[in-house]
Amino acid sequence: MKLLVVEDESSLLQSISEYFTQEDFLCEGVLTYKEALNKIEAFDYDCIVLDINLPDGNGLKLLQYLRQYKKEDGVIIISARNSLDDKIAGLDLGADDYITKPFHLSELNARVKALIRRKYAQGANVLELGNLQLDLVSRNVTCGEQKIALTKNEYDLLAYLLNNKNRVVSKQAIAEHIYGDQSDNMPSFDFVYSQIKNLKKKLKEKGCDELVQTVYGLGYKLSL
């Protein structure tokens, strides 16, 4: 998987690159509009993570360029401006997704993977770890041969953890992923805890409970 990250903040770029390199992406990062244009002209990428506020140009123009030359690279816009206009403009120009700063890397990771699956029908539509399987099309979760019935929130939570498997995902990232903006007003993350508790219980019934690990007070991790 080839990924291009266009982000003018070098330390953020470095974080994103590091995260995706660990996810076995071939990750390239550029800091300016010019560099990005050169890269886009020369190579094809599976996904481009694009900051639209660049010092030497607007990221939306890169998007225009891509669509003009019929390049099929998937694009996820990252923007500091959580404005509806930017979002609409970006999606109108053919961006596949839109994410606002500050975002969680695990969320970006989940979205990139979802985009790649959607766009190229690549990678299996089944997320798996050990004998746990989650079918994104039929929304079936199985442990070995046994089907596990999950609520919508539990399913989303499990899919999110599977997308970020072998990684510690913070409670905050989970809360934001499942509840979106509504997580803003939560005074505590107890609801994440109770969702995890329920999920663990259901997994345990089918013998997959060893997979979900709690990492101190930080978050949760799905690994063998």
**Closer to other proteins by Cβ: residue 70 or 217:** 217
- Among 10, 175, 7, 19, smallest CA distance to 78 is for 7
Among 46, 106, 141, 222, binds other proteins (CB under 8 A): 106
Residue 16 engages other proteins in binding (rule: CB under 8 A): yes
Q: How far apart are CA 134 and CA 38, in angstroms?
A: 39
Among 82, 122, 125, 146, binds other proteins (CB under 8 A): 82
Q: Which of 55, 68, 102, 145 binds other proteins (CB under 8 A)?
A: 102
Q: Is 163 in the site for other proteins (CB under 8 A)?
A: no
* Residue 187 interacting with other proteins (CB under 8 A): yes
Classify 166 in phi/psi space as left (phi over 0), alpha (psi -120 to 50) or beta: left
Quick one: tokens of 24?
């076995």
Q: Does 124 bind other proteins (CB under 8 A)?
A: no
The answer to whether 180 contacts other proteins (rule: CB under 8 A) is no
Check: CB of residue 192 under 8 Å from CB of residue 151: no
Q: Is 104 in the site for other proteins (CB under 8 A)?
A: yes
**Rounded-to-integer distance, Cα 27 and Cα 47, Å:** 10
First to last CA, the chain: 24
How far apart (Å, rounded) are the C-alpha atoms in residues 92 and 110?
Answer: 22
CB 54 within 8 A of CB 6: yes
Map residue 32 onto helix, strand or coil: coil
Q: How far is the CB of 169 from other proteins (least distance, A)?
A: 8
182 binds other proteins per the rule CB under 8 A: yes
Q: Does 101 bind other proteins (CB under 8 A)?
A: yes
179 interacts with other proteins by CB under 8 A: yes
CA distance 206 to 214: 19
Residue 65 engages other proteins in binding (rule: CB under 8 A): no
Closest distance to other proteins from the beta carbon of 89 (Å) = 15
**Distance from C-alpha of 104 to C-alpha of 175, rounded to nearest angstrom:** 11
Q: Which is nearer to other proteins, 134 or 178 (CB)?
A: 178
Residues that bind other proteins (CB under 8 A): 9, 11-12, 15-16, 18-19, 22, 80-84, 100-106, 153, 167-168, 170, 172-173, 179, 182, 184-188, 190-191, 194, 215-219
